[in-house]
Amino acid sequence: MEGTARLGWSFDQNARRSKGLWMESVDMTPSSSTHIQQPLALSDSFTLRRLQTWDRMAVEALCNESFPIQYPDCWYDEVVSGGLLSTGLFDGEQLAAMVVSETKFLYDCNLEDQGILPSSNAHVAYILSIAVDKKFRRLGLATRLLNNLMSSLSDHPPYPRAVFLHVLSTNSAALSFYKMHGFEFHASLPEYYRIGEQLADGCTYVKYINGTYTNVTFTDVCRTFGNTICMPLKAICKMLSF
């Protein structure tokens, strides 16, 4: 799975049409809850540590290699300055893989993400990106980073109730990766990404943690009830048609 460079293509953006132009805005406001202590060691030759200001060039090179989206300079500043929860796996001094996330209140999230939980006062964690250097793929590094992040979110305050991310709808490798790790489809995001001059659809995937379960809506209940009633009727009709 880590054979793909594009594990998520996540970019917290609102793309909206204005006089024929597409404007992209990024919420870079740091949250005090983003500073969650993480384990800082692995059992093999790779070292896990927070990204620092001197890692900026390596982070930018890895993102340029991994993602079709061009991140602004301010995003890299947030990644290495502590404004976001940014962790790297290093082989010696070389950055092999990284994960960037943040924890915030649901009411601070974009409007399209506020239906993840019924309470807007709940904390949620958002994974902005996971990237693995092409020389280190197929070693399970993305899985290690994700597992480390999930463990940290479960063991330390503010104990977010859900972890979510955005992913390109056509990125089948990333979709398989997140599904394999327990993430569930939440919503479609038409024309969410701007890649060059093209617009591309995205989707939201969510994993509920810390005792929280899937957010079941009234529509979901009606759909399940309808399927329960209709399926036996369809079977009976099929039998009678013979």
The two counts, helices (H) then strands (E), for the chain are 5, 9
Structure tokens at 62: 């890895």
> Is residue 161 within 8 Å of residue 124, measured between CB atoms?
yes
Instruction: List, by residue number, the catalytic residues.
Output: 126, 166
Sign of CA dihedral 188, 201, 146, 84: negative
The CA-atom distances, in angstroms, between 142 and each of 7, 25, 50, 111, 229 are 8, 27, 15, 28, 43
Q: How far apart are CA 229 and CA 231, in angstroms?
A: 6
Instruction: State the DSSP string of 177-201.
Output: HHHHTT-EEEEEEEEEEEETTEEEE
